[in-house]
Structures are given as C-alpha cells and as structure tokens.
Structure 1
Amino acid sequence: MSNDFIQPYEGQTDEAFRAALYAGTVFLLPSSETTLRMRDHCWDRVCQVFGDDPRNASKRLSGDQLFQKAGLLRREFYESDVCRQGIADLLRQTGCDANQHLCDPVRLRVITEGGHHNPAAAPVYYAHRDTWYSNPQCQITWWMPLHPVSKYETFSFLPFYFDRAVDNDSGGFDYRQWTSKGTDLKIGWQDAEAGRRELYPRLQESLPQAQRVAFEAQAGEVIVFSGQHLHQTVPIESGETRLSIDFRTVCLPDHDKGLGPKNVDNRSTGDALAGHIPVSPADRGP
C-alpha cells in the first residue's frame, strides 16, 4: 500500500471537505496559527505536569505516577475552553460552520515505550473503527501530535477495509451502559483497571500486515479521517513516549440527512451523539 494514501489538504471546504472524508480520503492539514496555538497550550501544560522532558517521563516516574498525571491532564484538556476554541477555529479554517457541529472534546493520548506489554493497556492497541463505540457514521476524527512523530510511533490505517466488513465484537458495546458508570470511561483512561474489565470493541480476525499504512507528522499538523476507518496504534518497542491529542466532530445537517460512509460492520448500540457537546465554549450550558 503506497504512502501517498494520506493526502495533503488542498483547500477543500465545507461539504466538499466532508464528502471527501466520507469517501475514505485521509487529509494531512499543515500546521497553522490555529493548530500551533492549540498544540503550544497543551504542550506547555504537559511539560508543567510531566517535567521538562515529557517524552522520557516514563523513565522518571512510576507507572502509577504517570497514570495520575496523565489523568489530570486528560480531564483538563477535555474540559478546556482553549481546546474547544481550537476546535471551532479548525472547523472554520476548513470552511465549516462551527455552529452546525457538535464535538467529542480533546483527549490526550500517552503511548509509552513498551506500554503494549501491560495487560491493563491492551485496548489502546486494539484495531478498531471509532464508529464501533456507538458513534455516528458521519463522525470525523482530528488527530494532532504534540511533537514530531515517525511512522514507528503513530498509528496505522487499514484502508482496504474502509468499505469492507471485518469480524469484530462491536455488538457487545452499548453506549448507555458505558456512560452509566460515570465520566471516567467517557473521558478515557481515568480508570486504571478499565482495560481489564470493560469491553473495548476490537478486530476479531488477522489481517495482512502489508495492508497497513503508518505515517509521520510534525507538531501542529493534523491528520483528519472518517470514524469509519479501521486503524490501530503502533506499539513503541524502543524510544520515547508519544503524546498526542485528538477530538471528533459531527456535522448535524449531515447526520440528519444520513450522510457518511455506509455502515458495513458496526453493531454497537446506543447513540454516542448524546454525549457530544456544542463546539463553541460560549454555547456551554449552566
């Protein structure tokens, strides 16, 4: 599979931008004033909490210390008005009306060297579609590294399966049950034992390694793709911790019209759109 699978963003806007994503295109958005403002805000806080060398924090901190500090930042970024404003600005940058969108807010991801050997972290490395978590078919994922990353420390796509069904256990995931246990699961990785106890939907068959496409990116660049894409975190066998943020958006008019990729294998139940919030911080309820 050629590495030209991920396309440089060339100014597509609004409906054309989303239609390309719904058809399976993955865009690489260049860094901009908007993305660098969001990146710098998050990176500064990571450095304050993890120390001046956050990429090597796992070598200085115990597993419990790292988890607690990451959890503090996850909640902070998830609730951050700065991050919410960044989402709105990115939507406007791509010609979209932020007022017509809901978002699943910013989430911090911390992937440590050798983290795949920890049974409690196993779900981080499952191949999955974001739609398997009861998300709308028209949901779009935006992923940004907080530092330069190589293809050995990002994640890989399996684009051949964008419109082809794969064996999976998404039928066991129910959004209502998931959120009935509080916000820790919703925000992500606030519960150290959740990976052992909860069902995180995953691929249930082996697929050819050659069909996987990993990528590299610079701090502040953004990878944008449909929640339909099958993808999987790359285990870091040796090197430094990878820190990134991501968020998800749903265009409500597109959702109302039933737009988005065809559902080929998602059997999860419930509706995660109920947990999405207005993009603009000014729209936050009391």
Structure 2
Amino acid sequence: MTTVFSNSGVDDDTRRELLYDGQVFVHSATPASGLLAAFARELVAEAFGGRDPETAQFDMPVEEFAELLASLKPRFIHHPRCKELLPEILRELGCDLERTYFDVPRLRTSTSNDYLTSGISYAFHPHRDCWYSAPFNQVNWWIPVYAVVPENVMAFHPQYFGTPVRNGSARYDYAEWNRSSRLSAARHVRGDTRDQPRPEEEVTLEPQVRVVPEPGGVLVFSGAQLHSTVPNTSGRTRFSIDFRTVHIDDVRARRGARNVDAACTGTTLRDFVRCADLAPMPEELALEYEAEALARS
C-alpha cells in the first residue's frame, strides 16, 4: 500500500525510511521552494518573450520550441542561484546539510497534445530511476513551476514498487550514456531513437497515484518508484523542476529501497555534491558502487 503524507512532521531519517518502503510525501511551498519556482518563471518568461509559456506551443513550430528549450534548460540547470536555493529548500524540510548531497536541478517540460514528447521534452514511459544507474537510496524532489492539474503531472504505479518488471536496464551504463547520448537530446524532435531502459513486458498503469502540488510545492518519492509522465491533455505545457538527493550515511551503509529488477551498470553518485559546502561525493564510494553494479550485471 502506498500512502501520501501531506506536510508530515516526521524527521528526515523517518521520512527516508518510509520513502524506501514506497511511501510518498508532499509538502506545501516553503519560502525557498517558492523562490526557486519564481526564479524559474523569470527565466522561462525571458526565454519566451511576450508569449504565454504554457500555450506558446500552439503558436510556434515544434523545431523552434525545441531550440528555445535547448537554450533555456541548461541556463537554469547551471545558474548559481539554483545552488543557493536548493540547500535552503532541503534545510527548510528538515535535511542535515552536512550529510545530504544533491545533484543539479533540472527544468522539465511536458507539452500538450503530443506536440513534443521526445528529446529535450521527453515524455517518460514507466520507469524507475534505479534503471538509470541511480543508487537505491536516491530521493527524488519534484516542484511545479506553474499550476498543474491531474492531466499534466506524473503518475506513480505503486503496485510495482516491490514487484519486478522485465526491463532493458541491463543495456544501460551511465558513463556511456553521458558520453554518447545525453548531449544529443535537443536533436530528437520528431522522435527519439536513444536506447533508454523501459519495460519489456506489458505494464498495467492502473491503479495509479497522481499528486497535484501547488506551484512551489514539493513532491518527494523514492527513485525506486515506478513512475511515468501522464499523457498531457490539459491544453497547457507543464513546467516543473526536479532534483535528487542522497544521505551519505545511507550511501555508506547501503541503506535504501530494495532492488527488485535493476541490472544497469555505472553510478550517478559523482553527480552529487554536499549541501553544506558543495564538496563532491567521495570518489571511493562511487568506485565501490560501480564495482557492485558490475558484479550484479
């Protein structure tokens, strides 16, 4: 059973334990998460000029829209303002900044009516982040930039949290993906030919759980959750922010969700930096996780 905890007062250790067991948390906008969403809206508005970003897709050739996103998204990802606000969000939500590591925030889009569903605005099929070399102690944080509705958010498929799904993760290695596929996203406009881990058996998408936070609200879930992009029928492009965290004690202790079906190699641990001072993840941990993933494959 999956339970959605709303504005729970549990501490971060308890929250992570529940997340690793398949539960989901949602928090109202904090001062810092509200500022991050507002900052994203500033960059988005600047990029789209006088157009309404949520409906601009109906007035722009898809190639022009994809080109705009190819410039906007890296600007957001690498902006120093994001590195200032993310640790503050985590502090406000009870994380220990000396023990919590985060990766860069990503600005995501989900366009309506199948306008752009590949490459730079990829519509994710059902997947676990753990199929993409994420550690099993990864926690995902998702923040809407504008108001969202059930028709343009994400869906969780909790019946699969502890149930294996035959998938293509055995062909995925994170280092190879970074070398050969990640930077080509903007070129995939009419279709996406990159081999990404996906179910290789029929997956039943019902029942599913959809959570609709306010702009700046924070949805928190395990990277082991099977989740997907809801086919957007809202008539508006959805803009959202997501980032990921790991707790160094969980990384060292190999504490996290159970691996039920991931067979990928490599690790994303080198993407994480410490909230307190942006120090990188210790290299020996990344090497240990790479060796363990290779032994599993």
TM-score, normalization by structure 2: 0.86
Corresponding residue for 2:62? 63
Q: Which runs of 5+ in 1 are unaligned?
A: none
Percent of aligned positions that are identical: 30
Distance in 2, matches of 1:129 and 1:100, equals: 24
Aligned residues: 279
Q: For residues 76-131 of structure 1, what are the alpha-carbon distances to aligned partners after superposition, in whole Å with 9 as ceiling and x for unaligned?
A: 12112221222201221222222323222111111111237756689523110011
Query: In 2 relative to 1, CA 175–11 (structure 1 residues): closer, same or farther, beyond 3 Å?
Result: same
Corresponding residue for 2:8? 10
Q: For residues 144-186 of structure 1, what are the alpha-carbon distances to aligned partners after superposition, in whole Å with 9 as ceiling and x for unaligned?
A: 111111111101100111111111111111112112238626x
Q: For residues 224-254 of structure 1, what are the alpha-carbon distances to aligned partners after superposition, in whole Å with 9 as ceiling and x for unaligned?
A: 0000000010111351111111001111111
Q: Which runs of 5+ in 2 are unaligned?
A: 281-297
Task: Give the partner amino acid of 2:42.
Answer: D
Alignment partner of 1:158 is 2:157: yes
Secondary structure of 2:206's match?
helix
Q: What's the CA shift for 1:6?
A: 2.2
Q: For residues 44-71 of structure 1, what are the alpha-carbon distances to aligned partners after superposition, in whole Å with 9 as ceiling and x for unaligned?
A: 1101112341101111222122112112
Distance in 2, matches of 1:11 and 1:184, equals: 40
Secondary structure of 1:41's match?
helix
Choose which of 1, 26, 29 in structure 2 pairs with 1:28. 26
Superposition map of 1:198-237 within 5 A:
198-237=194-233
TM-score, normalization by structure 1: 0.89
Query: In 2 relative to 1, CA 281–242 (structure 1 residues): closer, same or farther, beyond 3 Å?
Result: farther
Secondary structure of 1:156's match?
strand
Query: In 2 relative to 1, CA 109–222 (structure 1 residues): closer, same or farther, beyond 3 Å?
Result: same
Distance in 2, matches of 1:206 and 1:259, equals: 30
Secondary structure of 2:140's match?
strand
Choose which of 36, 48, 51 in structure 2 pairs with 1:50. 48
Secondary structure of 1:108's match?
strand
Alignment partner of 1:274 is 2:273: no
Task: Give the partner amino acid of 1:108.
Answer: L
Query: In 2 relative to 1, CA 281–244 (structure 1 residues): closer, same or farther, beyond 3 Å?
Result: farther
Distance in 1, matches of 2:277 and 2:107, equals: 19
Task: Give the partner amino acid of 1:134.
Answer: S
Corresponding residue for 1:145? 144
Structure having the larger proportion of residues in helix: 1
Superposition map of 1:86-97 within 5 A:
86-97=85-96
Verify the 8 A CA contact 1:145 1:219 in the aligned structure 2.
Answer: yes
Q: What is the aligned-residue RMSD (CA, Å)?
A: 2.4
Distance in 2, matches of 1:266 and 1:9, equals: 31
Query: In 2 relative to 1, CA 131–101 (structure 1 residues): closer, same or farther, beyond 3 Å?
Result: same
Distance in 2, matches of 1:85 and 1:261, equals: 29
